[in-house]
Amino acid sequence: MAAIKLHVLKPSVNNMAARVFVRAAKLDFTEDDVYGKTRSKEFLAMNPAHMTPMMEAKGLPKGVMWESCAIMQYLCNKHELSKFYPVAPAKRAMIDSAMFYLIGTLYPYVARATYPALGFPQYAGEVGASNLDAAHKSEAQNAAMAAVAEPLDVFHKFYMDGKPFIGGAKPSIADIRLAATLEFLAVVDYQLPGWAKTYMAAMEKSLGKAYAEPAADVRGYISYVKSQKK
Ligand SMILES: N[C@@H](CCC(=O)N[C@@H](CS)C(=O)NCC(=O)O)C(=O)O
């Protein structure tokens, strides 16, 4: 039996990050597609947060864990994968900062901008999940789309700062998380700045099939969603 079982939803970029990582790191893993099962009694018994990606692995205190960045951090620690997650505290701090900034700031904007088009449920308390009319919802979606530009620029100017990747010459786990996130913006035809297009291409070139295979699932879903709108 493989050491790692990843429970995944293939159209999701949160999942894509972990899926790219286990491939790029050449870890021993299997994948279980849990579409339609995350709220089942069995799944909730393991994971009351019903979140994917969820990793099942021996040695974890509860047998499972979720949160894509934490999964990548744990696997890097366990398998000493310093090429994806530097060990020196100051360098590691930058990778952690980039990932927290992504999850806490960029991702909520990306979700509000893209989830309506992806047909994903929006978060409680947000305009998109409310009973407000379509005009209000579209205004909120456009505001979120406009807000994406600032954190994107921060990734470029602060975290990358002239280097090809946040990780330097090679992609780090923060790069895997960022590139996967940006994949969703295609569903709203978001015009990525030139540097981001170059960056995405460099990610795919550097990681090869490890990136392309999970990306194909996300891109396939986006193409399907777009074809339904025509
Ligand atoms: N911050 C989390 C987000 C995970 C997340 O939102 N997962 C969604 C898919 S995009 C999910 O599993 N939803 C299924 C459910 O809630 O039942 C991560 O990076 O892993």
Give the count of beta carbons closer than 10 Å to the beta carbon of residue 36. Answer: 8
112/136 Cα distance (integer angstroms): 13
Sheet order of strands, 29-33 included: 29-33, 4-8, 54-57, 64-66
43 in Cβ contact with 34 (< 8 Å): yes
Q: In this predicted model, what pLDDT tens digit does every residue of 82-105 receive, in sequence order?
A: 999 999 999 999 999 999 999 999
Q: Per-residue pLDDT averaged across 160-183, rounded?
A: 98
Q: Per-residue pLDDT averaged across 143-152, rounded?
A: 98
Mean pLDDT of the chain: 97
Residue 230 — pLDDT band, cuts 50, 70, 90? Answer: confident
Distance (angstroms) between ligand 1 centre and the Cα of 14 equals 6
Q: Tell me the CATH number at 72.
A: 3.40.30.10
What are residue 98's phi and psi, to 5 degrees?
Answer: -60, -40
Inside any domain, residue 30: yes
Which one of 51, 115, 187 would you pick to mutate in the ligand 1 pocket, going by the greatest count of ligand atoms within 8 A of its CB? Answer: 51
pLDDT at residue 229 in the model: 86
Residues 131 and 216 in one domain: yes
Residue 163: which domain range? 89-229
Residues 204 and 101 in one domain: yes
Ligand 1 nearest atom to the CA of residue 69, by list position: 19
Residues 175 and 224 in one domain: yes
Q: Tell me the CATH number at 125.
A: 1.20.1050.10
Pocket flag, ligand 1, residue 58 (CB < 6 Å): no
| Residue at which a domain ends, from 27, 54, 79 | 79
Pocket flag, ligand 1, residue 124 (CB < 6 Å): no
Percentage of residues in the chain having pLDDT higher than 70: 100
Ligand 1 nearest atom to the CA of residue 14, by list position: 19
- Of 181, 145, 151, 152, which Cα lies nearest the Cα of 15? 181
Q: Are strands 54-57 and 29-33 parallel, antiparallel or unpaired?
A: unpaired
Q: In this predicted model, what pLDDT tens digit does every residue of 21-63 receive, in sequence order?
A: 999 999 999 999 999 999 999 999 999 999 999 999 999 999 9
| Residue at which a domain ends, from 29, 46, 79 | 79
Distance (angstroms) between ligand 1 centre and the Cα of 150 equals 24
Ligand 1 nearest atom to the CA of residue 103, by list position: 1
Residues 116 and 186 in one domain: yes
Q: Report DSSP state, residue 124.
A: T
Residues 179 and 223 in one domain: yes
User: Which residue owns the Cα nearest ligand 1 atom 14?
Assistant: 51
Inside any domain, residue 178: yes
Residues 176 and 225 in one domain: yes
Q: How far is CA 91 from CA 73, 87, 168, in A?
A: 14, 7, 10
User: Which residue owns the Cα nearest ligand 1 atom 13?
Assistant: 51
pLDDT at residue 182 in the model: 98
pLDDT at residue 192 in the model: 98
194/19 Cα distance (integer angstroms): 26
Q: Per-residue pLDDT averaged across 134-145, rounded?
A: 95
Inside any domain, residue 48: yes
Total structural domains within the chain: 2
Pocket flag, ligand 1, residue 12 (CB < 6 Å): yes
Count CA atoms within 13 Å of residue 216 on its CB side. 5
Q: Which amino acid is at 177?
A: R
Residues 165 and 218 in one domain: yes
Kindly report whether the global pTM for this prediction surpasses the value 0.85. Answer: yes
pLDDT at 184 over 90: yes
Residues 65 and 13 in one domain: yes
Inside any domain, residue 84: no
Residues 205 and 104 in one domain: yes
Pocket flag, ligand 1, residue 51 (CB < 6 Å): yes
pLDDT at 17 over 80: yes
Between CA 63 and CA 73, with CA 68 as vertex, the angle to 5 degrees is: 80
pLDDT at residue 143 in the model: 97
Pocket flag, ligand 1, residue 67 (CB < 6 Å): yes
45/23 Cα distance (integer angstroms): 28
Residues 6+ apart with CB under 8 A from 26: none
48/144 Cα distance (integer angstroms): 29
170 in Cβ contact with 83 (< 8 Å): yes
Residues 93 and 176 in one domain: yes
| Residue at which a domain ends, from 54, 79, 104 | 79
Distance (angstroms) between ligand 1 centre and the Cα of 156 equals 26
Residues 120 and 147 in one domain: yes
Residue 1 — pLDDT band, cuts 50, 70, 90? Answer: confident
pLDDT at residue 53 in the model: 98
Residues 103 and 52 in one domain: no
pLDDT at residue 76 in the model: 98
